[in-house]
Amino acid sequence: MYQWLDYFRNTILIAVFTILISLVTSMLAAYALSFIKFRGRNFVFTLVLLVMMIPGETQLIPNFVIMAKLGLVDTIAAQVLPYGASAFGIFLLRQFFLSLPKDYWEAARVDGCGHLRFLWSIAVPMCRPILFTIALYSFIGCWNSLIWPLMVTQSPKAQPIEVALATFLTSNSADWQGLSAAAIFTTLPVVIVYILLQKHIIRGISRGDGIRF
């Protein structure tokens, strides 16, 4: 029981840190692609769209090589850093930022508001539904992640709950009651979070209407 709590704690830590980092990087990148004019801005956004089309499996070996060279194998950080940027989050937030009237930024600039202040005080409060959507997608991705944690971890001190469930399935294939309890234990938190935030998800996705260049 205590070991399962350790797996549960590891998964929560991975999810929380991944969500926080991905939200920060998504907001900053999306804001730069929306409000800051620089050469190649549309090309950078096209690259973001292309990243969304690349299967995650193709990134496993390069990510593992990088984590190994950094000495982060079998750590929580190795399961957080590769997913600290979300192309999906950048896409959604950029589409929302482009829909904001330019008058907001012009009025804020007249009042002496800089880019970071405008982002934090005006843009972020208006895009909370989208932030909830990105956070939930990151949470579900972290909670259900199996292949990457299985590659990059070897000990229970850093393994998430999905790896524990896969190990339990292999070693206790005949213990159907235990397998059922473990499956419910790993699935129930995701279901609860989705039920609580489903309205925010629908609102967040509906705000990113169409692709703008």
What is the pLDDT averaged over residues 32-61?
87
Taking 50 as the threshold, does the pLDDT of residue 211 lie above it? no
Query: Could you give the C-alpha distances from 182 to 11, 132, 141, 158, 165, in angstroms and in order?
Result: 14, 28, 19, 18, 7
> Each residue of 85-140: pLDDT tens digit?
888 899 989 988 888 888 888 888 887 888 888 888 888 888 888 888 888 888 88
Split at pLDDT 50, 70, 90, the class of 20 is: very high
Would you tell me how many other CB atoms lie within 10 Å of the CB of residue 203?
14
pTM: 0.82
Tokens for 82, please give them. 């590769």
Question: Are the C-beta atoms of residues 190 and 140 closer than 8 Å to each other?
Answer: yes
Which domains does the chain show, CATH number per domain?
Answer: 2-207 (1.10.3720.10)
pLDDT of 106 reads 83
Distance from C-alpha of 119 to C-alpha of 84, rounded to nearest angstrom: 20
Query: CA-to-CA distance for 118 and 98, rounded, in angstroms?
Result: 14
d(CA 213, CA 204): 20
Model pLDDT for residues 102-115, shown as the tens digit of each residue? 888 888 888 788 88
- Predicted local confidence at residue 213, as pLDDT: 47
**Contact, 84 vs 21, CB < 8 A?**
yes
pLDDT at 8: 86
Q: What is the pLDDT of residues 150-204, one digit of tens each?
A: 899 988 888 888 888 877 766 555 566 666 776 777 777 777 777 776 666 666 5
- Radius of gyration over alpha carbons of the chain, in Å? 20
> For residue 118, how far is the Cα from the chain centroid?
24
- Look at phi and psi of residue 38 and say left if phi exceeds 0, alpha if psi is from -120 to 50, else beta: beta
Strand, helix or coil for residue 145: coil
